[in-house]
Amino acid sequence: MNTLTCHSLLTQYPQAWKEATIHPFLQQCQQGTISPQQFNTWLVQDYLFVVDFTRFVARVLAVAPVEHFDVILGGLNALKNELIWFEAKAKERHLNLQITKQVTCQEYCNYMREINQMSYPVQAMALWAIELAYNQAWQLPGQMTSPYNEFADRWGNAEFTEYVKYLEKQADEALHKSSETLTGQVESVFLQVAGLERAFWQMAFNAF
Ligand code: HMH
């Protein structure tokens, strides 16, 4: 039995989580001052990220207990729509999605493959952390104006928030049943995810 929970990770590492979810990129979206170059860089790189994230979630499903299928399958269904939505947003902006990943995006995608080699409790926690990062990041700046409100709503809406709560519950269940010996690895993955989230915002912000 392990006493580690998702909530305890957030309280143990508040600074890392703050840096993952609060960034000038998002504040400038809220103020409407982000440059098209910065925003479009985020859009295309995040599309490429989401393609690999979908593969990540599919691999988490493959090792999840059957009781956890409903929530993860719901997530995969939402990702199906999200990919179509990203393609539509890119088309509106005349952006080419057939480009190569920037280093930070590639590093994050590589890291998800590494997480997929770890045990289910670690993967379930990582899935929760990755989704919570966007759920909070897009909500924290406050109401955004067009066109950014559409992006903020995608990850900040009530249904997505509910989905993230279910992911937390499932991760907590899996962690609870795991050995104390897993604690160091869980903490390390949480901190890596937080650092990669921060780096991803910075990557887009740097694209002047
Ligand atoms: C970088 N993290 C990044 N992109 C996303 N679309 C998500 C998380 C999804 O929550």
pTM of the model: 0.98
Choose which CATH entry (3.20.10.10, 1.20.910.10, 3.10.105.10, 1.20.140.10) describes domain 36-205: 1.20.910.10
Q: Which of 19, 42, 46, 108 most suits a substitution to test ligand 1, by most atoms within 8 Å of the C-beta?
A: 46
Does any ligand 1 atom lie closer than 6 A to the CB of residue 172?
Answer: no
Q: Annotated catalytic, 197?
A: yes
To 10 degrees, the CA torsion angle through 127, 132, 135, 140?
-160
One digit per residue, the tens of pLDDT, for the chain of length 208 reads 889 999 999 999 999 999 999 999 999 999 999 999 999 999 999 999 999 999 999 999 999 999 999 999 999 999 999 999 999 999 999 999 999 999 999 999 999 999 999 999 999 999 999 999 999 999 999 999 899 999 999 999 999 999 999 999 999 999 999 999 999 999 999 999 999 999 999 999 999 7
Q: Is the CB of 134 under 6 A from ligand 1?
A: yes
Domain positions in the chain are: 36-205
Contacts of 177 (CB under 8 A, 6+ apart): 1, 2, 121
Binding site per annotation, positions: 46, 82, 131
